[in-house]
Amino acid sequence: MGELAAASKVHVMVSYWWSRGDSLANHQLGQILSRAAGVGEVDLTDSQSLDRALRIAVTDPAVLGELEAWWQMVETRRAGNGTRNPGLGLDQSIRYLTDRLDAAAITPEVLGECRRQVAAVDLTIMSAKNLPELAHPDAEMLDLLGRYLEARSRVLALA
């Protein structure tokens, strides 16, 4: 594999595993990028900021090696499971459900939307059950899951 192809592959793989939302791994990525010459400050919550930093970082062979080791470590840590951290969208799903459930009238269409949302969130949680975020949840994740179960129960009670 040529130098450019290797840099391109690392860039893509780091971007992919960053987007899975593994907080601990992304913290480590931030440390790698902060040590890279010429990268400057990186906002790990912004995909464009990460992309700019990676374009610079992959040009340094030493940093390229660190980044390759990083994405391989994340892939191993997550057992190849590409499911996003369910906590990243859970708050939005909870708000979506509660907003619709707290509306004056719950039409069959609204109930159908809520059931589809519950099914999608349930699927995400099930596919992520062995990931670090759910295998060893922190207080924030436990709070989100509790709030989700409450909203989910409200939807299922309307059956």
Q: What is the pLDDT of residues 12-68, one digit of tens each?
A: 999 999 999 999 999 999 999 998 888 888 999 999 999 999 999 999 999 999 999
Is the CB of residue 127 less than 8 Å from the CB of residue 83?
A: yes
Q: What is the pTM of this model?
A: 0.83
Q: Is the pLDDT of residue 1 over 70?
A: no
Q: What is the pLDDT of residues 71-101, one digit of tens each?
A: 999 999 999 999 999 999 999 999 999 999 9
Domain identity same for 20 and 64: yes
**What residues make up the domain containing 36?**
3-77
pLDDT of residue 70: 97
The domain boundary residue, chosen from 41, 56, 77: 77
> How many domains is the chain built from?
2
Q: What is the pLDDT of residues 131-159, one digit of tens each?
A: 999 999 999 999 999 999 999 999 999 96
The domain boundary residue, chosen from 28, 58, 77: 77
Of 129, 128, 125, 133, the closest CA to residue 24 belongs to 133
Domain identity same for 72 and 97: no
